[in-house]
Structure 1
Amino acid sequence: MIYSGAAISVQALAGGIAEFKFDLANESVNKFNRVTLEDFKNAIDAVKADSSIKGLVVTSAKSVFIVGADITEFVGSFAQGEAAIVEWTLSGNQIFNAFEDLPFPTVAAINGIALGGGFEMCLVCDYRVMSTAAKVGLPEVKLGIFPGFGGTVRLPRVIGIDNAVEWIAAGAEKRPDAALKDGAVDAVVAPDQLHAAAVALVQQCIDGKIDWKAKRAEKLNPVKLNMMEQMMAFNTAMAVVVGKAGPNYPAPKLALQAIQAHASLGRDEALKIEGKNFAKAAVTPQANALIGLFMADQAVKKASKKHEGKGSKEISQAAVLGAGIMGGGIAYQAASKGTPIIMKDIRTEALDLGMGEASKLLGKQVEKGRLTPADMGKTLSRIRPTLNYGDFNSVDIIIEAVVENPKVKTAVLSEVEGLVKEDTILASNTSTISITYLAKSLKRPENFVGMHFFNPVHMMPLVEVIRGEKSSDEAVAATVKLAQKMGKTPIVVNDCPGFLVNRVLFPYFGGFDMLVRDGADFQAVDKVMEKFGWPMGPAYLLDVVGIDTGVHAAKIMAEGFPDRMQPNYKSGTEIMFENNRYGQKNGKGYYVYEQDKKGKPKKVVDQTTYELLTPIAAARKEFDAQEIIDRCMIPMVNEVARCLEEGIVASAAEADMALIMGIGFPPFRGGACRYVDQIGVANYVALCEKYAHLGKAYEAPQLLRDMAAANKKFFG
């Protein structure tokens, strides 16, 4: 053994070739944390000191190669300012450079995922051999940063500026065929041939059959384009990157500016520029928010594991009550992830609609080449449509997805409870009706939970798992497991009107309604909130949700929280409803809808909307953009704080992730809690006081007042 450490070992193979193996102790994956970086440095020193080594193969003892840098460990460095971040990147790069400068050829054998710093490790090697089971990429822009261990320097020199910009700015994971086509790897082989292929390639270098020194020199020297060619490449790339990223995601533009600035420089000088721009990205509020989201996602996964551990029941057969679009979507999602599901309805037409929805979604996968027709057939065979309860005695969980009416739901749930096993879980896909209330008609309320899917089911990643007063840990655990099997992210919340997501969404709509009442143009509000980062403004969102659905849910919210959600005026949304303007579903709401060339609804402004609003709205006036933002956001943020106060949701991380995944809260703002942190809790409370005259929804909850007094934050 040449070297043995906590993360890396080096041992001699035959013919002067050594194996440089990553295997981080006590971890399921390899990553660049402080332990690995220290070991990396020591292992390089050991290799340098061994004169018998003629070539090196870099491998992983785990099923992944290296997943990247341990962002949870390094994020503390980002709070120390740009100078400290530059120093951190340069110290890391000194280690990577030392490896790249070893006096013999090096080949990476990429057996699994190699992302971020993991792929940058591959780039410091002279050659890269990739398994057909592996994926590579530089996804750092998704965290609001960009590659900082030489990725922006080496990749353009390996695959060219155009390809490198696309890899770095998009942050996508690349499959072996795409990586080989772009020249990011030198060979792709079957997993069982990977080690031998990498060793053989090193041997060819040692034997002088391949000029590995010339290959390495390409990474050490400037990009091989003259200034005119560079200018053309970067001008085109800048227009594309800025257009796609927009003003809310600065990292891709900073990465491109770094590449442009260091393209004509040698490696060491280029890395200094990369480090400076990396630091600029790392201190942005967007990086703070997106890294925070990554960490919140980890927290949500840990919370799910904790819930899973409280029950042993496995789900091998599911059922959904109620077909149609929602039932069909749930059935599709379960079947596509391998869980057989019975779809029951009382009408053949509804079953046809549900199967049609599943077939349509699968058909699109076939069209895109992601699924074969045979696989589509297999998936559809996992969905069994039925008009009766014949096979329900073998079902582990039943998802009730009938009409949003408590009497209908109660009747259906009571009926099916008498036909199933004693340990069968019943879950209601209600969006607003109390789980504790629905449980009152059941003989085994401990087996009953809420399982709230968001529409469209196949696209929305969140599932709210709602615990009623009598829901057991076993029932919650089984429902969390099923949600995960279906490819969804479950967040467990306690029962209340609207649960978490709808409860905090409707105060946002309330803020919008008050703006319209006070003379704001609904189009102007939409434009401001879209610029703020929402995928659609509140008027447009109400049209998409369905104004009839919104009015129904708003009444439930008002009954549950009359002090702040019961309006003392007639809202524009009610006016739309009274005039049968339900939104996209019937072609007219705040906007009217026409079909575009692809057959999708396109919103068009309708003067009639303004005429309908005239009797209930003040004279039209222009509002400052920040006032529009504050008046829409404060009621939502305050309600999130109340949910934390009341224990409806267990943590700020789970609350933020629910908003991101459930209603499209702008990711670059990190969620409601991080939004408050970035404003400053004391500043936010002062903002609430400024707008307190608008009503209880604008009054800062006690939790926020206490945090402001104690100078506390939600995170950090």
Structure 2
Amino acid sequence: MIYQGNAITVARGPEGGGDDIARLTLDLKDESINKLSSAVIEELGHAVEAIRAEQGLTGLVIGSAKEVFIVGADITEFHAMFEQGEASLATMLERVHGIFNAIEDLPFPTVTAINGLALGGGCELTLTTDFRVMAESAKIGLPETQLGILPGWGGCVRLPRLIGADNAVEWIAGGKESRAEAALSMGVVDAVVPQEELEAAALDILARANDGELDYRRRRAQKQAPLNLGPIEQMMAFETAKGYVAGKAGPHYPAPVEAIKVIQKGAGETRERAQAIESKAFARLALSDVAFNLVGLFLNDQVVKKKGSRYAQQARPVGQAAVLGAGIMGGGIAYQSAAKGTPILMKDIKDEAIELGLKEARKLFAKQVERKKLTSAQMAEKLTNIRPTLSYGDFERVDLVVEAVVENPKVKDAVLTEVEGQVGEHTVLTSNTSTISITRLAENLKRPENFCGMHFFNPVHRMPLVEVIRGEKTGDAAVAATVAYARTMGKSPIVVNDCPGFLVNRVLFPYFGGFSQLVAQGADFQRIDKVMERFGWPMGPAYLLDVVGMDTAVHAGEVMAEGFPERMAGMAGERGDGQGKSAIQVMFENDRLGQKNAKGFYAYEEDRKGKPRKVTDEAATALIKEVARERREFSDEEIIARMMVPLCLEAVRCLEDDIVASPAEADMALIYGIGFPPFRGGALRYIDAMGVDAFVSQAERLAEELGPLYAPTEKLRQMAAAGERFYPAPSRA
């Protein structure tokens, strides 16, 4: 044994190789995956020192004993690491570069055997060796820009020299992982083989390198020399890319463009100088609020996944599902289930509704074929997972039913009580309601413990969130089965307790309330949209209302007003201040329902792809003038505060009322469900960033003028006085 650590071992003579070959194996104890924590990096440094001191070696194979190679750096350490400041980050980066350079400079050929995921720092480690061989099922990539940073362990230096600047820009700025064949065609890896042949292929490459057939020294020199690019090539590779990437990333996500600048600045430099440029840029990005929030988002996502996994482990598997109510929503649910491999019955009482649901599913599958995600044969096979029916004939074999009929409590009650008599005693019933109380819908069921909410967001195939709503009598088994089924469908389920609007709609409607009050006081709704879109929302509130539909908004607003009259009275109808109707109600009464009938706050025309494109409509502007009871000018900051404070306060109330279990789940639900700006981290992290005391002061000032919707809770005031936060402050290691 050359070296033995907690995560790394180095031994002579891997299986099938001679005693002169060293095998560095990553196998982090007590973990299911390998990750490059600070402790593992320290071990890697000692392992490389041991390899350099060992006599008689002619090659090195780096591999993994786990199903993955390395998933990347240990992101749980990032917040504390970033808090150390620029000097500490520079020291850390210098240390890692020294270790990685030592691997690259070993006096014999080296190869990495990539058996599974090789992401981030794991991918960068593979780039230090002379050659890479990859299993057919493995994936590789540099996703750092998705965390608001850039590859800081040599990725911006080695990858462009290996595959060319333009290809490296695509990989690094895009931040996506690639399959083995794509990596091979790009030149990132040298061979792709079946998993069982990986070790033999790596040893074969070393043998050919030692025999002189493969020139590892030339490959090594190429990675360490400046990029050979002329002025025109530089302009084509970098300047054009910066404009394109900036347009796609938007102004709130600087990392992709910064990564291109780093590659450009380092292109004419030697290895060490280019690495210094990379390190400086990494430290600058790591200290930004964007990186802090995106790392927090990743950690919150892990919380949601772990909770979902725990539920799924307790669940009876869903082998056969059913959806009641075809149409667009039912068709979308049927498509998602069938696409992910769970057969589903799609029932309705009308042939035309069944046909509409099938048409929706076929359209979504056809788009997958168009994008080359599926072949026509695969589409045909997956479509057989959807079985349309007008009867309950096969429902006794169904494990879980999703009711997706019209949002009317009487209709839903009739459908749910009817289907309960047609299914087995252990079948889970769920309702895709967006507002109606699950406890109320369970009142006439014989087995209310088998019933819960399963709220999908529209469009089903795109929106990742599913709210799983626990009613007063819902049993753990029903929740577990619903969570497991949602995960099987490729969704991110979050379990919440029952209340009007559940979590996401309850939090969203105070945001709409803030919008209505602004319009009533004379703010231009188009300006509000632009301000909130600059703030980071994918669409402003008026545009979002058009997408939701004014009829849906009025109905949901009535539910909110009934449930929380002290602050949400008149949320979508009468304003609650005795001074007229809301803008939403006026649009509804004038049959301006939004995109569904091509007129709302905006008018809608079809673009070249057949999608609705919003245009200014003078008729809408005239109607809004009737709503405004006064004329006031609002600054951007005032608009943001008036929109964000009520939304954030309702998220706080949901946490305090135990509707949602943790800040992480609350924030992820808003990001997954309504597009809360990811780079801001979520509503509760947004409050933390402002400071709870500063947020409470702002809310109290607004509440004096605007009423209870803006009033902070007593518990939030206590948090402010005690200097507390929703998330732990990063600990300084």
- Structure 1 counterpart SS, 2:89: helix
Counterpart amino acid of residue 8 in structure 2: I
Distance in 2, matches of 1:209 and 1:307, equals 54
**Counterpart position of 2:707:** 695
- Structure 1 counterpart SS, 2:463: coil
**Counterpart position of 1:39:** 43
Structure 2 contact 24–62 (Cα < 8 Å) conserved: yes
**Counterpart position of 1:643:** 654
Relative to the length of structure 2, the TM-score reads 0.96
Distance in 2, matches of 1:602 and 1:227, equals 41
Distance in 1, matches of 2:322 and 2:234, equals 59
**Counterpart position of 1:101:** 105
* Per-residue deviation, 1:189: 2.4
* Per-residue deviation, 1:697: 0.9
**Counterpart position of 1:5:** 5
Instruction: Determine whether 1:472 maps to 2:484.
Output: no
Cα distance, 1:233–1:376 mapped onto 2, change above 3 Å = closer
1:581 pairs, out of 592, 603, 615, with 592
* Alignment map for 1:274-293 (pairs within 5 Å): 274-293=278-297
* Per-residue deviation, 1:312: 4.1
**Counterpart position of 2:307:** 303
Instruction: Determine whether 1:114 maps to 2:118.
Output: yes
- Structure 1 counterpart SS, 2:468: strand
* Per-residue deviation, 1:330: 0.8
Instruction: Determine whether 1:161 maps to 2:165.
Output: yes
Distance in 1, matches of 2:293 and 2:635, equals 25
**Counterpart position of 1:496:** 499
Counterpart amino acid of residue 524 in structure 1: R
Which digits, 9 at most, give the CA deviation of each residue in 1:68-105, with x for residues without a partner?
A: 00110233110122222122211222111121111111
* Per-residue deviation, 1:231: 4.8
2:357 pairs, out of 347, 350, 354, with 354
**Counterpart position of 1:524:** 527
Which digits, 9 at most, give the CA deviation of each residue in 1:445-494, with x for residues without a partner?
A: 11110010001111111000000011011111111111111111110000
Counterpart amino acid of residue 345 in structure 1: D
* Per-residue deviation, 1:219: 1.6
Which digits, 9 at most, give the CA deviation of each residue in 1:396-445, with x for residues without a partner?
A: 11111110000011111111112221111111110000001111111111
Instruction: Determine whether 1:715 maps to 2:732.
Output: no
Counterpart amino acid of residue 293 in structure 1: L
Instruction: Determine whether 1:17 maps to 2:16.
Output: no
Instruction: Determine whether 1:448 maps to 2:459.
Output: no
**Counterpart position of 1:266:** 270
* Per-residue deviation, 1:117: 0.4
Cα distance, 1:377–1:230 mapped onto 2, change above 3 Å = closer
2:442 pairs, out of 418, 439, 442, with 439
Which digits, 9 at most, give the CA deviation of each residue in 1:282-303, with x for residues without a partner?
A: 1111111100000000111122
- Structure 1 counterpart SS, 2:66: coil
Instruction: Determine whether 1:396 maps to 2:399.
Output: yes
**Counterpart position of 2:731:** none
Structure 1 contact 641–703 (Cα < 8 Å) conserved: no
- Structure 2 counterpart SS, 1:499: coil
* Per-residue deviation, 1:227: 5.3
Which digits, 9 at most, give the CA deviation of each residue in 1:346-386, with x for residues without a partner?
A: 11111111111111111111222211222222211111111
Which digits, 9 at most, give the CA deviation of each residue in 1:315-344, with x for residues without a partner?
A: 111111111111111111111111111111
**Counterpart position of 2:553:** 550
**Counterpart position of 1:219:** 223
* Per-residue deviation, 1:246: 2.1
Instruction: Determine whether 1:381 maps to 2:393.
Output: no
- What is the root-mean-square deviation in Å for CA atoms of aligned residues? 1.4
Distance in 2, matches of 1:373 and 1:252, equals 35
* Alignment map for 1:531-680 (pairs within 5 Å): 531-566=534-569, 567-568=575-576, 569-680=580-691
Structure 1 contact 517–618 (Cα < 8 Å) conserved: yes
**Counterpart position of 2:461:** 458
- Structure 2 counterpart SS, 1:691: helix
Instruction: Determine whether 1:704 maps to 2:710.
Output: no
1:201 pairs, out of 197, 205, 219, with 205
Counterpart amino acid of residue 216 in structure 1: R
Instruction: Determine whether 1:243 maps to 2:255.
Output: no
Which digits, 9 at most, give the CA deviation of each residue in 1:230-276, with x for residues without a partner?
A: 35533222222222222100112222222222222221222122111
* Per-residue deviation, 1:144: 0.6
Which digits, 9 at most, give the CA deviation of each residue in 1:650-688, with x for residues without a partner?
A: 000000000000001111111101111111111111110
Distance in 2, matches of 1:229 and 1:306, equals 52
Distance in 2, matches of 1:604 and 1:448, equals 43
Which digits, 9 at most, give the CA deviation of each residue in 1:508-536, with x for residues without a partner?
A: 01111111111011110111111111111
* Alignment map for 1:69-218 (pairs within 5 Å): 69-218=73-222
Structure 1 contact 119–137 (Cα < 8 Å) conserved: yes
Counterpart amino acid of residue 131 in structure 1: A
- Structure 2 counterpart SS, 1:459: coil
Counterpart amino acid of residue 509 in structure 1: F
Which digits, 9 at most, give the CA deviation of each residue in 1:537-593, with x for residues without a partner?
A: 110011011111111110110110111111324111110000000001001000011
Counterpart amino acid of residue 101 in structure 2: N
Structure 2 contact 252–679 (Cα < 8 Å) conserved: yes
Relative to the length of structure 1, the TM-score reads 0.98
Distance in 2, matches of 1:620 and 1:193, equals 74
**Counterpart position of 1:317:** 320
Distance in 1, matches of 2:317 and 2:61, equals 43
Distance in 2, matches of 1:216 and 1:453, equals 52
- Structure 2 counterpart SS, 1:402: coil
1:343 pairs, out of 324, 333, 346, with 346
1:294 pairs, out of 295, 298, 306, with 298
**Counterpart position of 2:416:** 413
Counterpart amino acid of residue 562 in structure 2: E
Distance in 2, matches of 1:613 and 1:489, equals 38
* Per-residue deviation, 1:2: 2.4
Counterpart amino acid of residue 479 in structure 2: V
Structure 2 contact 62–112 (Cα < 8 Å) conserved: yes
Unaligned runs of 5+ in 2: 570-574, 729-733
- Structure 1 counterpart SS, 2:473: coil
- Structure 1 counterpart SS, 2:500: coil
Distance in 1, matches of 2:486 and 2:587, equals 36
Counterpart amino acid of residue 415 in structure 1: E
Distance in 2, matches of 1:182 and 1:620, equals 60
- Aligned-pair identity in percent equals 60
Cα distance, 1:313–1:176 mapped onto 2, change above 3 Å = closer
- Structure 2 counterpart SS, 1:451: strand
Cα distance, 1:232–1:410 mapped onto 2, change above 3 Å = closer
Which digits, 9 at most, give the CA deviation of each residue in 1:117-170, with x for residues without a partner?
A: 010011001111222211111000111111111111111111121111111111
Question: Once structures 1 and 2 are overlaid, which stretch shifts more, 76-85 or 117-126?
Answer: 76-85
- Structure 1 counterpart SS, 2:349: coil
Distance in 2, matches of 1:426 and 1:609, equals 42
* Per-residue deviation, 1:307: 3.1
